[in-house]
Structure 1
C-alpha cells in the first residue's frame, strides 16, 4: 500500500496467477498488473492535504449569512401573517357592515313598497247590509308590488262594482299594466257602459296604448237592496259561492270569456246569483289555487277548505283561507282574496 499525490494504491500479491475471468468477478475491478498481483488505486488517500484556513472562514461566513437570512425570512413571515390577520379582520368588519346596510336598505324598500301597495289597494266601501274584506300577499315579503290589483266603488245607481285584475308578469311593469286595466274599467263603468261590455271595450281601448299588456279580469256587480250579484269573467279563476250552510260552488259561465290582450277578448256569458243572508262570494287570483302547481287540484281543495269558514267573521276569512291553501307552496305568486257577504239580519 502506498500513496501517490494523495491517491491510495493497494496491491495484493497472490501465490499463483489470477486469470481475467476471476478478476472480473471481484466486487471492485483491479487495474492491469502481472498475473499474480492485483492493484487498486483509490482517491482521497490518507495523505491528502488539509483544507486551507481561508476556506473554513468562508464556510463559516456563508453559514452565518444563511442563519441570518433564515431569521429574516422568519421575521418577515411573522409580520406578514400579522398584517394578513389585520386585513382579514378589516375585510370581515367591512363585510358585516355592508350586510347590515343591505338589510337596512331591504327593510326601507319593504316599507316603501308596502306604503305603495296600501296606496294602490283601496279600503272596502261602506255598503248597507253587506260586509267586504280583502287579503293581499306578495310572492315575496320584500318584493315590489306585483300585477294583482283590485278596485271597488259604489256606482251612481247604488250598486257596488268590484274589479279584480291579474296582469301577466311581475314587478313594476305588471303593476303599471294592472293599474291601466283597473282605471280603464273604472272609467268605462262610471260612463255607464254595461257590465258585459266592459272587458272587451277596455281591451280594444288599450290595444293601441299598451300592445304588450295581458291581464285576466274578473268583474262583480251586486245590488245591496236585493242581494243580486252578476259576474263577468275574462280568463280569470272562477269565483266561489259559500252558502251560510257551508255548501260551496264554483260559478262557471256557459261561455268562457277572454281577458285583456288575449285573442278575441270579452266577457263570454254572465253569471247571476242572488245571495241569501250569510252567503259569501269569494273572488281571488290564481296565486291562491296554484301554489302546488296544479290549478284543478287547487280548485278542488278550495271547495273543500272553504266549507270550514262558513259563518266566521268576514274580516278573518280571506287571510285564513289563504293560509289554509298555502300549507304547501311549490310555486309562490301574488295572491288576492276578496270576500263579500250579505249580512244576516240582526239577532239571527
Structure 2
C-alpha cells in the first residue's frame, strides 16, 4: 500500500508542477506583451525628425530602460511654432509601466496642441498642468519647455519640477541653468511656472536632459550635472558637432548606477546668421 501511495503522490506532484509551469509561462508571456506594448508606445510617440533651422543644430539621444517591466516615460520633442520659433521639451513621467509610457504620449501631445494657443513657456506649462488634471490620472510628469527664437538667438525656459539644463559658450564658460521652476505637471491646479531668458551665443550649446542621465545610486544629481557641464564646456570650446555632444552625454547615463530611461536634447548655435 505504501508504494502505491508513493506513486500517486508522485503523479499529483508532477501534475501540480505542470500546472505551475503553465501558469508561469502565461504570466511571462503577459509581462513580455506589456513590455513590447510600452516599447512600441515609446517608439511611435517620439518624433522621428528634428526641425531644420539654419544656424541651429539639434541633436537627440534616447536610451530606454528594458529591465523587467521598467519601461518608463521619458521623452524629448522639438517642433516649429507658428511665429517662426522652435518649441523644445524634455520630460519624465513618474513610474515605469505601460501606463507611464501612455501618459508620456498624452503630455507630449498636450504640449504640442496647446502650443498652438500659446507658446509662452510659463503659460504653456500652466495650461498643460490643468489639462492633465482633467484626465483623472494618478501619474505626474516633470518637464522643461523652451522656446527658441533662432533669429535673436534667445531661449525662454520654464521648468516643471524637472532637472535643470546645462549651458556652455565658445569662450570657455559653462554652468547649470538657474531658472526658478515650478511643481511637476498633473499634481495641483492653478500652478505658475516662471520663465527665464537665456542668450544662445555663437558656438554656444544648451543641453536638456532627464534625471536618468545624471542621477542614481553611484552619482548624485550634482555630480552628474557637473559631468555634463564638463562635457558641454569641452564641446563648445572644441566646436564639436551637436550630435557628438549628445552621444557623449547619453553615455554618461552608464555611470549613474541604475537602469532608467535617459533622454538628451542638445541645442547648438553654429555662428551662421539666421535671416528673419
The match for 1:121 is 46
Normalised TM-score (structure 2): 0.78
Give the superposition deviation at 1:217. 1.2
The match for 2:215 is 290
Moved more, 128-137 or 263-272: 263-272
Give the superposition deviation at 1:134. 0.2
| Contact 1:233–1:267, Cα closer than 8 Å, also in 2 | no
Structure 2 CA distance for aligned equivalents of residues 117 and 205 of structure 1: 21
Give the superposition deviation at 1:173. 0.8
- Residue 248 of structure 1, aligned match among 150, 174, 192: 174
State whether structure 2 residue 261 is matched by structure 1 residue 334: yes
Structure 2 CA distance for aligned equivalents of residues 293 and 280 of structure 1: 24
The match for 1:276 is 201
Give the superposition deviation at 1:186. 1.1
State whether structure 2 residue 269 is matched by structure 1 residue 345: no
Q: Secondary structure at the match of 1:337?
A: strand
Aligned alpha-carbon RMSD (Å): 2.9
Q: How many residues align structurally?
A: 243
The match for 1:321 is 249
Give the superposition deviation at 1:155. 0.8
Moved more, 187-196 or 126-135: 187-196
Give the superposition deviation at 1:146. 2.0
- Within a 5 Å distance, the mapping from 1:1-348 to structure 2 comes to 116-122=41-47, 123-140=49-66, 145-192=71-118, 194-253=120-179, 255-263=180-188, 266-291=191-216, 292-310=218-236, 311-323=239-251, 325-345=252-272
The match for 1:65 is none
Give the superposition deviation at 1:195. 2.2
| Contact 1:221–1:231, Cα closer than 8 Å, also in 2 | yes
Specify whether residues 170 and 144 from structure 1 end up closer, same or farther in structure 2 by C-alpha distance, changes over 3 A only.
closer
Structure 2 CA distance for aligned equivalents of residues 178 and 222 of structure 1: 23
Structure 2 CA distance for aligned equivalents of residues 245 and 193 of structure 1: 31
Structure 2 CA distance for aligned equivalents of residues 203 and 109 of structure 1: 27
Structure 2 CA distance for aligned equivalents of residues 193 and 303 of structure 1: 28
Q: Secondary structure at the match of 2:126?
A: helix
Q: Which has the larger radius of gyration?
A: 1
Q: Secondary structure at the match of 2:257?
A: coil
| Contact 1:227–1:276, Cα closer than 8 Å, also in 2 | yes
Structure 2 CA distance for aligned equivalents of residues 211 and 326 of structure 1: 29
| Contact 1:216–1:236, Cα closer than 8 Å, also in 2 | yes
* Bigger RCO of structures 1 and 2 (CA < 8 A, at least 6 apart): 2
Structure 1 CA distance for aligned equivalents of residues 99 and 75 of structure 2: 13
| Contact 2:123–2:193, Cα closer than 8 Å, also in 1 | no
Specify whether residues 295 and 267 from structure 1 end up closer, same or farther in structure 2 by C-alpha distance, changes over 3 A only.
farther
Structure 2 CA distance for aligned equivalents of residues 179 and 250 of structure 1: 28
| Contact 2:167–2:206, Cα closer than 8 Å, also in 1 | yes
Structure 1 CA distance for aligned equivalents of residues 225 and 190 of structure 2: 24
Structure 1 CA distance for aligned equivalents of residues 127 and 142 of structure 2: 14
1:79-110 deviations in Å (ceiling 9; x for gaps): xxxxxxxxxxxxxxxxxxxxxxx9xx97x999
